[in-house]
A and B are shown apart, each in its own frame.
Chain A
Amino acid sequence: MMRTVFSMKHKQFAAAVVDMCRPLSWLAILSSVAFAAPRSGLAAPSEEKSEADPKALKALARSTAYLRGLPAFSVQAYVTRDEVIYSGYKLERSSNVRMSVRRPDRLRAEVSGDQGARLFVYDGKYLSVFLKDENYFGSILAPATLLGTLESIERHGIELPLLDLVYIAMGGQLEPNITDAGLIGVSNVDGVSCLQLAFRGHAVDWQLWIEQGDKPLLRKLVITTTDDPARPQYSAVFHWDLTTPIVETDFAFAPPKNVSRLTFGSGERRSAELSPPADRATP
């Protein structure tokens, strides 16, 4: 609306100002703004009651059930993530992730990207992070399952790569953060025919691409952050390996001898002194 005001010539502008002093013209402006509001396939949750498409929810549930049926898997992902710097400029950061997971308590994830090389290892007891370039190593006592670990690490400032994928594969639910859902149609991801689904939730609009056919694997995930005016995006394209055997040594890691110790979260305590997460503090 302001743009149209600015594009007017001075005389028209003065006339418009005078015009706005009449109550009726406000009505006209308000109604025109209401009609000019963008219409999208997904209704904003505040505007009207959610009309989540059951077909989209069913497709998500089918994929989730399939992932939970895999005893172990390896996945490689190309990830991009916008960083908003103070001027509102969106820098795209990217990384490659190689991850192996074994139900219910093993994970190894190697990340190489703009932020440097990171290695995350969870062995059912400790979650360790090794920053190869900076030669830092940190380790924290973790819950006994991967799902429990995922739910508790956020408060330590640790963000595991491909968090949603691991979370749902281990039995977590994304449904609590769905206020709207739509089945968009068939879309191709790296030569694989997929169903594209669109969801809306708290602080995020997100899209999933799920492989069509017998193996409803996640092939792509896009998340738009909607509570930031710059609306930065995250995207991950997944390549699966369900055949290479996963062995115990995949989850073993010993840091180099000269490594420097890193703490987590607020850094008030040393990592060696970190108490176990609250949910397993009492035996």
Chain B
Amino acid sequence: MTHRKRRIIAALAALLATAFIPSHSPTEAQARGVSRSYARSSVHASRNVNVNRNVNVNVHNDYHYDHWGHPIAAAVAVTATAVAVGTMVAALPPHCSVLVVGSVTYQNCGGVYYQPVYRADTVQYVVVNHP
């Protein structure tokens, strides 16, 4: 077999391999967290590539998500270990207490403080430093 033929067959094999991978196979991160995207709702805003169409929510220790995107509480609540400030979550961990500072309502969930944010038409929570 010539070198050229071997190259062609290798390319063909690679092509066949990609055909067998489902186009929407979830990555590990997606299976553990939740990644949603919405149809664009504006012709005008679509000129801007960076329009906030995607809602990517970080993997949360106390939750995983079923394949319809619903959060499911872990059987045993994992202590939120070192959640980075700035992390955005769609659902709060269980057992939070309210802390009002000024006009902002924070949630204290095991020593991690969450602040409500309006983003992509939903309320999400961002991890902040102790207010």
Contact = CB atoms under 8 A, between A and B. Distances in A.
Interface of A: 2, 5-6, 17, 20-21, 81-89, 91, 93, 115, 118, 129, 131, 134, 136, 138, 154, 157-159, 163-164, 167-168, 172, 174, 176-177, 199, 201-204, 206, 223-225, 228-230, 232-234, 260-268, 270-272
Given A17-B9, A265-B119, A267-B115, A203 B40 contact: yes
Interface residues of B, number: 51
B41 interface: yes
Given A20-B8, A203-B40, A267-B117, A177 B47 contact: yes
B45 interface: yes
A21 B8 contact: yes
B45 to A, nearest CB: 6
- Interface residues of A, dominant DSSP: mixed
Given A159-B41, A204-B40, A204-B43, 6 more contacts: A131-B123, A159-B42, A163-B44, A223-B42, A225-B46, A263-B116
B44 A87 contact: no
Contacts of A223: 39-43, 46
Interface string B112-129: 000111111111001010
A87 B41 contact: no
Most A CB contacts (10 A, CB to CB) among B5, B41, B48 go to B41
Interface of B: 5, 8-9, 12, 15-16, 19, 23-24, 26, 30-31, 34-49, 51-53, 67-69, 86, 88, 102-105, 115-123, 126, 128
Nearest to B24: A88
A163 B42 contact: yes
A75 to B, nearest CB: 15
Nearest to B41: A234
Q: Top 9 A-B pairs ranked by shortest CB distance? A: A88-B24, A232-B39, A267-B117, A260-B105, A267-B126, A163-B42, A234-B39, A157-B119, A2-B19
